[in-house]
């Protein structure tokens, strides 16, 4: 019944108007009216860029940010600058039917500038794994790739369930996840990474911290006696200089047990299809006994 109601609600977000236009409701509840399904889309969100490629809608993608680097083919799309201050002139020159932006990473001024130019802005705001799957479905409907999006969502759900089955009933180690070391930034309440840690069979020691991704006291984090420490890398999982600082903390259970790991932050911070890759990686690090040890890098 819940899935049926969700499907009905989603269907209502894409309703043709009497004049033949397309009425769309974005993830923040904003309603847009488009003359037709968008054929020229600019993505100001790396995760959205990944999603559009994953469902075969990349031909509609006419512009991306400098941070849209996955898949590699995304780097060949025309660039409009950074997420905070994309080039307005560059975006206008690409003649988009729609710009996809996010409340986390893009400035409200950018939305206002585009709307003054009568360029529709579709805003995304996923916070949970369910939101990510919902976004994938929405973008599939928006780009006439509904079947591909549905297949992708079904495959991701199967992989998520497979992880849940592997870790079910096992003890839940205390996990300290570090998004950024100095100042220390961690996953707090209502954050995607906190949810991924839970799904992977761990308990985040900072999940009761501030909303989202707050700064946190290193002393307070270590006082929780984490049994696993996971450092998010930015660009590569090999960050020896970052690890050196942590490896000296021999009194911490995670370090004493040799359970200091790194993970590619793009897999766990970007809310695209690769979050399930991130979930699988987290589960292998938190519960190596539940997986083939050869699969752990």
Task: Look at residue 4 in the predicted model and tell me its pLDDT.
Answer: 37
Structural domains present in the chain: 18-152 (3.40.50.1980), 169-295 (3.40.50.1980)
pLDDT the model gives residue 207: 95
Tokens of 8: 């009905």
Residue 21 φ then ψ, to 5°: -80, 175
Q: What does the DSSP assignment read for the chain?
A: -HHHHHHHHHHTTEEE-TTS-EEEE-TTS-EEEESSS-SSEEE--HHHHHHHHHTT-GGGEEEE-TT--SSGGGGGSPB---SSS--HHHHHHT--SEEEEETTTS-HHHHHHHHHTT--EEEE---SHHHHHHHHHHHHHHTT-HHHHHHHHHHHHHHHHHHHHHHTTS---EEEEESEETTEE---BT-HHHHHHHHTT-EETTTTSSBSS-B--HHHHHHT--SEEEEEESS-S--HHHHHHHHT-TTSHHHHTT-EEEEEHHHHHS-STTHHHHHHHHHHHH-GGGS-GGG--
Calculate mean pLDDT across residues 150-155.
98
Whether pLDDT at 224 is above 50: yes
Give the residue, 121 or 243, on which the prediction is more confident. Answer: 121
Per-residue model confidence (pLDDT) at position 10: 45
Among 1-10, 73-82, 226-235, 261-270, where is mean pLDDT lowest?
1-10
Using the predicted structure, report yes or no on whether residue 7 has a pLDDT greater than 80: no
Q: What is the mean pLDDT of the chain?
A: 89
Please work out, in degrees rounded to the nearest 5, the angle formed at the alpha carbon of residue 159 by the alpha carbons of 191 and 105: 30
Share of the chain above pLDDT 70, in %: 89
**Burial track 41-54 (b if 16+ CB lie within 10 A, e otherwise):** bbbbbbbbbbbbbb
pLDDT bracket for residue 20 (50, 70, 90): low
Give residues with Cβ within 8 angstroms of 58, minimum separation 6.
52, 73, 74
Mean pLDDT to the nearest integer, 122-146: 95
pLDDT mean over 79-89: 93
Per-residue pLDDT at 235? 64
pLDDT score at 199: 98
Q: Which of 123, 107, 96 is nearest to 30 (CA)?
A: 123
- What pLDDT was estimated at residue 104? 84
The whole-angstrom separation of Cα 116 and Cα 120 is 10
pLDDT for the residue 27:
93
Question: 27-53: per-residue pLDDT in tens?
Answer: 999 999 999 889 999 999 999 999 999
The lowest-confidence range among 21-25, 123-127, 195-199 is 21-25
Task: Using pLDDT thresholds of 50, 70 and 90, give the confidence band for residue 19.
Answer: low
Q: Quick one: what percent of the chain has pLDDT higher than 90? A: 77
Q: Say if CB 178 and CB 232 are below 8 A apart.
A: yes
- pLDDT of 240 reads 47
- What number is the average pLDDT over the span 90-94? 96
pLDDT, position 66: 95
Predicted confidence (pLDDT) at residue 154 exceeds the cutoff of 50? yes
Residue 161 has pLDDT above 90, yes or no: yes
Q: b vs e for 18-33, b when ≥16 Cβ sit within 10 Å of the residue's Cβ?
A: eeeebebbbbeeeebe
């Amino acid at each position: 019944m819940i899935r049926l109601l969700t499907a009905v609600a989603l269907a209502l977000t894409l309703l043709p108007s009497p004049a033949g236009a397309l009425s769309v409701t974005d993830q923040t509840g904003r309603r847009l009216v488009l003359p037709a399904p968008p054929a020229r889309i600019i993505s100001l969100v790396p995760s959205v860029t990944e999603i559009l490629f994953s469902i075969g809608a990349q031909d509609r993608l006419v512009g991306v940010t400098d941070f849209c680097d996955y898949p590699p083919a995304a780097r060949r799309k025309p660039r409009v600058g950074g997420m905070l201050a994309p080039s307005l002139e560059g975006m206008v020159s690409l003649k988009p039917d729609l710009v996809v932006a996010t409340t986390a990473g893009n400035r409200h001024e950018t939305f206002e500038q585009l709307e003054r130019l009568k360029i529709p802005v579709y805003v995304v705001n996923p916070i949970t794994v369910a939101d990510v799957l919902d976004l994938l479905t929405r973008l599939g409907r928006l780009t006439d790739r509904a079947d591909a999006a549905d297949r992708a969502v079904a495959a991701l759900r199967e992989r998520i369930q497979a992880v849940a089955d592997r870790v079910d009933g096992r003890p839940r180690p205390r996990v300290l996840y570090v998004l950024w070391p100095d100042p220390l930034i961690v996953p707090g309440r209502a954050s995607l990474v906190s949810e991924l840690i839970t799904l992977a069979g761990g308990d985040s020691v900072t999940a009761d911290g501030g909303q989202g991704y707050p700064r946190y006291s290193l002393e307070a984090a270590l006082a929780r006696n984490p049994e696993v420490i996971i450092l998010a890398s930015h660009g590569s999982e090999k960050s020896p200089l970052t690890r050196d600082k942590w490896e000296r903390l021999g009194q911490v259970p995670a370090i004493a047990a040799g359970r200091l790991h790194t993970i590619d932050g793009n897999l766990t911070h970007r809310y695209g299809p690769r979050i399930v890759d991130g979930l699988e990686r987290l589960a292998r690090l938190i519960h190596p006994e539940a997986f083939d040890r050869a699969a752990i890098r």
